[in-house]
């Protein structure tokens, strides 16, 4: 499961963390991101239309690799799988969530924020982890510190990262990709300014 999610990092340096408020934004947003070279899309399960949005993106934009973010429960995992998601992301780690992902065949990028959680997730077989909320829990300094005891663990830091700070994260050997919401500003979506989103995606693709 963990090896599958590590392949997500091969598509580019940034995974957009997407909050869809209006279902009609889903397909043009995915098309705009893919046009800018960003194929791996994390759609958070935070809005009433999130599952329908994932389904629409996966169906209408075949070049997009759609995943579900904010997975918290086994029911979330099943719903994400049914919506056609190819991977899942969680803010934290639980054995129940990991077991559900295994049961439903959904590769999981689980969140951690401490050394103990790294040990818990890695002992369950996960070697590619989301550091969340990355900046709030220590950012670049924490990732450098974790590389000592955990040389076999790779991270996707997410939370508080900006286009300006992303290069510092991406230069660390244990960071394969980072996550962020800056590629999908709500005002651009509301205005239907898909060109702006493509431009943000192009800039993010060029970050490493």
Q: List residues binding ligand 3PG (CB under 6 A).
A: 17, 132-133, 158-161, 180-181
Angle at 26 between CA 96 and CA 36, to 5 degrees: 100
Question: What residues act catalytically?
Answer: 42, 130
Closest to ligand 3PG by CB, 36 vs 180, is 180
Number of neighbours of residue 2 by Cβ within 10 angstroms: 20
Closest to ligand 3PG by CB, 174 vs 181, is 181
CA 177 to CA 170: how far, in whole Å? Answer: 7
In whole angstroms, the minimum distance from the beta carbon of 181 to ligand 3PG comes to 3
In sign, the C-alpha dihedral spanning 30, 33, 37, 42 is negative
Is the distance from CB of 50 to CB of 22 less than 8 angstroms? no
Number of neighbours of residue 126 by Cβ within 10 angstroms: 24
**Token code pair at residue 4:** 């599958």
Closest to ligand 3PG by CB, 45 vs 106, is 45
- E strand or H helix at 180, and its extent? strand 178-180
In whole angstroms, the minimum distance from the beta carbon of 18 to ligand 3PG comes to 9
In whole angstroms, the minimum distance from the beta carbon of 50 to ligand 3PG comes to 13
Q: Pairing relation of β-strands 108-109 and 87-89? A: parallel
Closest to ligand 3PG by CB, 27 vs 137, is 137
Give the residue closest to ligand 3PG by C-beta.
181
In whole angstroms, the minimum distance from the beta carbon of 103 to ligand 3PG comes to 26
């Amino acid at each position: 499961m963990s090896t599958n999610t590590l392949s997500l990092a091969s598509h580019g340096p940034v995974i957009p963390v997407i909050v869809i408020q209006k279902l009609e934004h889903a397909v043009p947003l995915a098309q705009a991101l893919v046009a800018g070279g960003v194929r791996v899309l994390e759609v958070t399960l935070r809005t009433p239309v999130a599952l329908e949005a994932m389904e629409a993106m996966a169906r209408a934009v075949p070049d997009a690799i759609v995943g579900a973010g904010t997975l918290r429960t086994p029911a979330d995992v099943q719903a994400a799988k049914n919506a056609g998601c190819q991977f899942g992301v969680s803010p934290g780690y639980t054995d129940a969530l990991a077991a559900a992902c295994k049961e439903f065949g959904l590769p999981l990028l689980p969140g951690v924020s401490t050394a103990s959680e790294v040990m818990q997730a890695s002992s369950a077989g996960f070697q590619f982890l989301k550091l969340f909320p990355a900046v709030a829990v220590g950012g670049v300094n924490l990732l450098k510190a974790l590389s000592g005891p955990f040389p076999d663990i790779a991270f996707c830091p997410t939370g508080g990262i900006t286009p300006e700070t992303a290069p510092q994260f991406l230069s660390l050997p244990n960071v394969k990709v980072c996550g962020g919401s800056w590629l999908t500003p709500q005002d651009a979506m509301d205005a239907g300014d898909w060109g702006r989103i493509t431009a943000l995606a192009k800039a993010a693709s060029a970050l490493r």
